[in-house]
């Protein structure tokens, strides 16, 4: 999903323990790594925000 040649870096987020476990369990249920889950979530958020931007500009 990501750029295989890119240098890796850590990302620290402050979330609740329940949110952390929910995310881990969601990724496991769908047999994906947490990194891939994060990348997918980021891509979906970007698509969502872009669609909302176009919608608000069209009104």
Residue 1 has pLDDT above 60, yes or no: no
Name the residue with tokens 């176009």: 54
Confidence of residue 58 (pLDDT cuts 50, 70, 90): confident
pLDDT at 57: 84
Handedness of CA 15, 17, 19, 20 (dihedral sign): positive
Confidence of residue 59 (pLDDT cuts 50, 70, 90): low
CA count, 13 A, side-chain hemisphere, 21: 3
Q: Show the tokens assigned to 38.
A: 């994060």
CB within 8 Å of 27: residues ≥ 6 apart: 33, 34, 36, 37
pLDDT digit string, tens, across residues 11-31: 999 999 999 999 999 999 999
Find the DSSP H helices in 1-59.
17-29, 34-58
């Amino acid at each position: 999903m990501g750029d295989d040649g890119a240098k890796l870096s850590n990302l620290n987020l402050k979330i609740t323990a329940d949110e952390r476990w929910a995310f881990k369990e969601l990724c496991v249920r769908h047999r994906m790594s947490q990194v891939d889950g994060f990348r997918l979530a980021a891509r979906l958020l970007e698509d969502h925000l872009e669609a909302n931007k176009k919608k608000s500009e069209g009104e």
